[in-house]
Amino acid sequence: METTPEVLINKAQRILLICHTNPDGDAVGSLLGMGWAMRELGKQCVLACSDPVPPIYHYLPGSEMVTSQPQGPFDLIITLDCSDLRRLGSVYESSHLSGVPIINIDHHITNANFGTVNLVDAKATSTAEVVLGLLRHLGISLNQTIATCLLNGIVTDTRGFSTPNTTRKSMEAAIALMDAGAPLAKITDQVFNRRPLADIRLWAEALHTVRLEGPIIWAEITPAMRLECGFTEEGDAGLANFLITANEAEIAVVFSQQTDGRIEVGMRSVPSVDVSTVALDFGGGGHPQAAGFSINGSLGEVREQVIAALKQAWLEQNSSS
Ligand code: 5GP
Ligand code: MN
């Protein structure tokens, strides 16, 4: 008999929920929302992420419970917003979890369907929207806590209901979450209008490196810049989202060198260009207009390779349209 999320959840007593490394608002919101919902069913839950929850999401209920060192045993794993097992990072690698069934909940078109059950909807705006569908299916009623976490996910990934994949269905999902008490204006303000000063200082440094090469705008972030600005997170502080607002660009790339030598490559594109294929070619993943990967090498080498691949993809996509 084919197994379902319902069967796996009913059988489970102690569930490990994991979202992706360097988590964004959808990863954190889905993780917390799903965690609160599983507690409503009387399940014991441990919420995990390999990296800390960014400060802007500390306002979400339960964010302080997310750990990078979950203590087993677990009889079920639920992954959220992860397109492949590597995206779970050290939490999965170091926790002896092989053999434990996985429910893979995601919305990335590049998802590798690595779960025992895969709940992947590439048409959904966010993993939070997929979680909401599952909760409805399981008959779990929403409360303000669950709703706030899930709306945080939808608002983040739709950039405030402005991305081309924002559908009537996603607006209706948001209305249901607001009806359950989720404060839309507060969430939007928190996600888009608040940021640590360190982020602004990092932009100030990184913006000096901005270059335009044909349709591609790019910038670099080094460990020295992060240190100088007191920026303790791994991401790009939202810089790629800012760069793609340049009228002259169709693709934006930020190369963030990590202290261990890896380079995190974050890409954005205008709606007529798809950068997810390039991310997949480099072993990463994402969405047509927002994708990324991580790679070893020097900043110069990686930049040359990635920009060449993006130019090639851009040319191919323009000649076929
Ligand atoms: P960001 O630039 O915000 O870090 O990531 C944009 C999108 O690309 C997100 O949907 C994220 O899940 C995906 N992404 C970023 N880095 C990686 C990566 O290293 N591997 C995979 N599979 N996806 C990534
Ligand atoms: Mn997402």
Tens digit of each residue's pLDDT (9 = 90 or more) over 266-306: 999 999 999 999 999 999 999 999 999 999 999 999 999 99
Q: pLDDT tens, 120-154?
A: 999 999 999 999 999 999 999 999 999 999 999 99
**Which ligand number lies closest to the CA of residue 23?**
1
* Amino acid (1-letter code) at residue 316: E
What domains can you pick out in the chain, each with its CATH number? 5-192 (3.90.1640.10), 197-319 (3.10.310.30)
pLDDT band for position 156 (cuts 50, 70, 90): very high
**Which ligand number lies closest to the CA of residue 109?**
1
Per-residue model confidence (pLDDT) at position 224: 96
Residue 294 Cβ < 6 Å to ligand 1: yes
Calculate what percentage of the chain has a pLDDT beyond 90.
Answer: 93
Pocket test for ligand 1, best of 19, 86, 107, 108 (most atoms within 8 A of CB): 108
Distance (Å, whole) CA 219 – CA 211? 7
Per-residue model confidence (pLDDT) at position 160: 97
Residue 285 Cβ < 6 Å to ligand 1: yes
The encoded tokens of residue 253 equal 């790339």
Per-residue model confidence (pLDDT) at position 97: 83
**Which ligand number lies closest to the CA of residue 27?**
2
pLDDT band for position 225 (cuts 50, 70, 90): very high
Average pLDDT over residues 167-195: 97
* Nearest C-alpha neighbor of 115 from the set 79, 145, 67, 158: 79
Average pLDDT over residues 58-63: 97
Residues sharing a CB contact under 8 Å with residue 60, sequence separation 6 or more, in sequence order: 28, 29, 32, 53, 148, 149, 152
Q: Whose CA is nearest to atom 2 of ligand 1?
A: 266
C-alpha 140 to ligand 1 mean position (Å): 30
Would you call 283 helix, strand, or coil by DSSP? coil
Q: Whose CA is nearest to atom 12 of ligand 1?
A: 286
Mean pLDDT score across all residues of the chain: 96
Atom of ligand 1 nearest to the CA of 84: 22
Kindly tell me the sign of the dihedral angle through the C-alpha atoms of 26, 28, 31, 32. negative
Cβ atoms within 10 Å, residue 21: 22
Residue 95 has pLDDT above 80, yes or no: no
Distance (Å, whole) CA 157 – CA 106? 12
Atom of ligand 1 nearest to the CA of 110: 22
Per-residue model confidence (pLDDT) at position 321: 58
Pocket test for ligand 1, best of 88, 287, 295, 302 (most atoms within 8 A of CB): 287
Residue 82 has pLDDT above 80, yes or no: yes
Q: Whose CA is nearest to atom 8 of ligand 1?
A: 291
Residue 87 Cβ < 6 Å to ligand 1: yes
